[in-house]
Amino acid sequence: MNTVAWQRVEGAALAITALALAGAVSPGWPLWLWPVLLLAPDLAMLGYLAGPRIGAALYNLAHLYAWGLFLALIGLLAGMPALIAAGAVWITHVGADRALGYGLKESSGFHDTHLGRIGRDPPRTP
């Protein structure tokens, strides 16, 4: 298996594990809040309105496992299950993105990632 495939498997494992953790420590959040929290890191895509370099930087900053781990650790140390769950949801989002092939963005454009190009390549004209 190549490196990209391993990163996708790793992402899936982290997403599943983190989702289980979030469910286990969840503070009784309403059902509608789960998809909102799961999609929240994608708000960083708004950075692309300022161009591909800034967009990629903001997107990549929001799509690091470290932020979810940090948030969950703060929750653990403070005895706040809601922060643990929020950090786990963040990790779930990032892991699911990696599993689906949505990697960290290159400054050349949204479709260029460290896991390869996403989406369809434009048709070539003869």
Reported as a single tens digit per residue, the pLDDT across 14-61 is 999 999 999 999 878 999 999 999 999 999 999 999 999 999 999 999
Four-point Cα dihedral 108, 109, 113, 118, nearest 10: -140
- CA quadruple 22, 42, 62, 10: dihedral sign: positive
**CA 21 → CA 72, 74, 88, 89, distances in Å?**
10, 15, 6, 9
- pLDDT of 113: 84
pTM: 0.88
Assess whether pLDDT exceeds 90 at residue 110: no
Question: What is the average pLDDT value for the chain, to the nearest integer?
Answer: 91
- pLDDT of 116: 81
Evaluate whether 102 touches 116 at the Cβ level (below 8 Å). no
